[in-house]
Amino acid sequence: MTRQFGTGPAFAPNASAGSVEAASALTRDRSPTAKKASSQLYTPEQRARRDTTPWTLVQGILAPVQFLVFLVSLALVIRYLVSGEGFALATWSVVIKTLVLYTIMITGAIWEKVVFGRYLFAPSFFWEDVFSMLVLALHTAYLIAVFFDLLGAQGQMLLALAAYVTYVINAAQFVWKLRQARLQSPTTPPANPSFSVGAAS
């Protein structure tokens, strides 16, 4: 008794050709070149927009300004926690740091819209933007605590420190992405990416 193969519709010539074509496409998608393209932070069009928009320069200026404000404020906050002196000065420094954060969050969102077509959570910077929301929330919570006189002086300064810890982590995220962008640049190093908290967004 002879077994017959290929008699069902799945083995028809057209279906077989389609299966081969689909398998070939899947193989191409899994190739190193395809994987490399999918891991790029910017498409050529996005890279061109990043390099030509003035918002890239704005972010490149605001990011180090915010970091300098952070360093001064951090020193003042620690000074108060250690010595109990300079509460008003430390408070004002955190308020200023928070206002700079708001500014760079807004300009970073505009930058992201120009380059990626959305104000927040572009795939290339999704997790950085997600963590930026925590940074923003803690800084805002500090302003609320100051405005409504909550938590007491010690509690407010500790909240400021918590906000600053998240800021440093978020800044490190964006620095890492900047390094990736430089390594992926085909010619010259790219301008500063959306560095919203360290940059945000």
The yes-or-no verdict on residue 9 having pLDDT over 80 is no
Is 107 or 200 the better-scoring residue by pLDDT?
107
Q: Render the burial of 105-134: b for 16+ CB within 10 Å, e for the rest.
A: bebbbbbbebbbeebbbbebbeebbebbbb
Which pair of tokens denotes residue 30?
């899994």
Q: What are 52-62's pLDDT values in tens digits?
A: 999 999 999 99
**pLDDT per residue over 51-99, tens digit each?**
999 999 999 999 999 999 999 999 999 999 999 999 999 999 999 999 9
Range with the poorest average pLDDT among 64-68, 147-151, 163-167, 171-175: 171-175
